[in-house]
Amino acid sequence: MLEEIGRSVRDKEGLGIELYADGADLGEMLEAYRTGLADGFTTNPTLMAKAGVRDYREFARAILEAIPDLPISFEVISDDFEEMGRQARELASWGPNVFVKVPISNTKGESSLPLIGDLAAEGVQVNATAVMTLEQVAGVVEVVREEVPAIVSVFAGRIADTGIDPIPVMRAAVALASRRPNLKVLWASPREVLNLYQAAECGCHTIAITPDLLKKLSLRGKDLDEFSRETVQMFYDDASRAGYTL
C-alpha cells in the first residue's frame, strides 16, 4: 500500500513540497523510508511516549543507523536553557542528518531565541518548534545563520484550532523566511490531507505528515461518485457485521 503511495507522491504532481513523516513507530518510519515516501522525519517526546519508547538514545540511534541519509528531527527534553543547550549539542553529535528541535520558549514563556542563535552559530542544525506567531518566526529568522540549515516549524493545525485561518500566517512566514536561504518553513500539526495542498500553495518547504494521513494520500484525484458509493458500502457492511435489525 505505502509503496504504491510512495511512487505516486514522489512525483509530487508539481506540488513542490517535501514530506516529513511524523511519528515514533520505528516500523512505520522504516517503511516510509524504504518506499521512498518520506523526504525526512520528525518526532517529539509526546509521540515517543505514545509509541512506547523507553530509551531515548537507543531509539534515536536505531533510527539513525537505519536512516543515515535523510534529515531527522529529535527534540530536547529540558526546560532549563543551559541543559537544553547540552542536550542539543549531544543530539547534533549523533549524525550529520540530525536537526535538533528546540521549542520557541520554555514552559515559563521565556524565549529560546538566544539559545537557538548560539546553537546556529556553532553549526547546529536547529528545528525551532512549537512556533505559532509571526513574531516568533521573525525572531527565528533573525538568529539563524545563512550558512547553516535550519527549520522553523509553524503549528498551523493548532493555529486553526483557535479559529484563526492559518493560511495568511503561513504565507507571511514563508515571506519572512525567504531572507535566509537555508531556513525551511515546515507546516506542523496538519489535521487533514487538504493541509498538504494548502501548505504547497503557501510556499511552505515541507510538511510533517502522520502515518494516518500518509495513507490517505492515495485518494488524490479519486472520483467522488465512487467514493460516495464506497462509503455507502462501508455503512451497509458494518451494519450487517454488527447484526443490527430494525
- Cα 63-33-58 angle, rounded to 5 deg: 10
* Catalytic-labelled residue, pool 101, 108, 184, 215: 101
Q: Give whole-number Cα distances, 145 to 43, 108, 129, 139, 245, in Å.
A: 24, 26, 17, 12, 66
How is residue 90 written as a grid cell? 549531544
**Phi, psi torsion values for 126, nearest 5 degrees:** -100, 140
Residue of 145, 120, 140, 163 whose CA lies nearest to 154:
140
Q: Please indicate whether residue 101 is annotated as part of the active site.
A: yes
Query: CB neighbours (10 Å) of residue 212?
Result: 9
Q: Hey, what amino acid is at 213?
A: L
Instruction: Find out whether 218 and 231 touch, Cβ atoms under 8 Å.
Output: no
Torsion angle defined by CA atoms of residues 50, 164, 77 and 110, in that order, rounded to the nearest 10 degrees: -160
- 209 has which bridge partners? 21
For the annotated catalytic residues, the residue numbers are 101
